[in-house]
Amino acid sequence: MSVFKTAVKLLEKVDFDKMAKFTNPQNEIRQRYPDVAIDVFGDSVKGYELSKIKVPENLQNQGLGTKVMNELLTAADAQGATVKLTPDTTFGGSSVPRLKKFYKNLGFVENKGKNKDFSISNTMYRDTNGRR
């Protein structure tokens, strides 16, 4: 059998719908919310790291950031993936304490004390379905 025919047979066995479930949700979120700048790295096995989310000033305080985060968390939960982040004011957040409160309301915990996970270098994380 030729290499081409072997490759075709292998591709016929791939469940692309199932495979898509385990891809980084960043591109889909960018398509749905083109005005929001978002950078998400990682995969469903190692977890995702949110390194940037920036809502334009004229769209802030309208729930858009919450919608984007909920979509990211829904995708991560479906994949059984942890989401990690370190809040800071680099991308327009008004204060770190305010950002921490925002993320805690979404189920994130600070990576310290009884919640300390030494495999995570970020200051906050959220396990699947908000479990700690």
pLDDT tens figures, 60-73: 899 999 999 999 99
Question: Would you say 125 and 108 are in contact if contact means Cβ atoms under 8 Å apart?
Answer: yes
pLDDT tier for residue 91 given thresholds of 50, 70 and 90: confident
**For residue 121, how many other CB atoms are within 10 A of its CB?**
10
Q: Which two three-digit tokens encode residue 112? A: 């310290």
For the record, the structure tokens of 45 come out as: 């096995």
pLDDT digits (tens, 9 = 90+) for 30-84: 999 999 999 999 988 899 999 999 999 999 899 999 999 999 999 999 889 999 9
Residue 35: how many other CB atoms lie within 10 Å = 11
Q: What is the pTM of this model?
A: 0.79
